[in-house]
């Protein structure tokens, strides 16, 4: 078993365990490796800090991994951006559109928007599957 240091495009460093160096290279080229912090597949093998010596014999140090809060904020930002790009914003008509899709009156598609507690109870009683995801508003949501 060979252990390589890996780093994603956002600077998250983690270890990868492989049977051979060729196995590592094949998984990298095939886009099979993902960052455990942010999920990106843009990952590269980087030199290990183990045994790397800088000036005057001091061991080279990497910046520590981000805290759970920072990693969570980065993930939330990526998820919000994904939703903005891949879900139709139906605004306050979310419950109406979800019902139309549920009963086949509208084409199935990814939608996002807002709903009241009463509307959510109604969606639950009708058997509509939905997920509440708190995301910060931006100018494109207006």
pLDDT of 57 reads 52
Tokens at 142, concatenated: 């207006």
Average pLDDT, the chain: 84
The residues spanned by each domain of the chain are 1-54+61-86, 88-127
DSSP string across the chain: -EEEEEEETT--EEEEEESSHHHHHHHHHTT----TTT--S-EEEE--STT-B-GGGPBP-PPPPPPHHHHHHHHHHHHHHHHHHHSEEEETTHHHHHHHHHTTSS----EEE---HHHHHHHHHHT-----------GGG-
For the stretch 15-51, pLDDT in tens is 888 888 899 889 988 888 888 888 888 999 887 766 5
The residue assigned the tokens 């998250």 is 12
For the stretch 83-94, pLDDT in tens is 889 999 999 999
How much is the pTM?
0.50
Among the listed residues 62, 61, 68, the one whose alpha carbon sits nearest the alpha carbon of residue 7: 62
């Amino acid at each position: 078993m060979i252990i390589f240091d890996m780093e994603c495009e956002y600077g998250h460093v983690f270890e990868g365990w492989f049977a051979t160096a060729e196995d590592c290279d094949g998984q990298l080229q095939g886009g099979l490796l993902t960052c455990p912090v942010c999920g990106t597949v843009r990952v590269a093998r980087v030199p290990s800090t183990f045994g790397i010596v800088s000036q005057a014999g001091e061991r080279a140090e990497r910046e520590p991994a981000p805290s759970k809060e920072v990693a969570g904020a980065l993930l939330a930002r990526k998820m919000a951006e994904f939703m903005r790009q891949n879900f139709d914003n139906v605004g306050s008509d979310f419950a109406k559109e979800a019902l139309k899709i549920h009963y086949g009156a509208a084409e199935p598609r990814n939608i996002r928007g807002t709903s009241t507690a009463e509307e959510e109870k109604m969606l639950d009683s009708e058997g509509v599957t939905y997920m509440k995801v708190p995301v910060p508003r931006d100018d494109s949501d207006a």
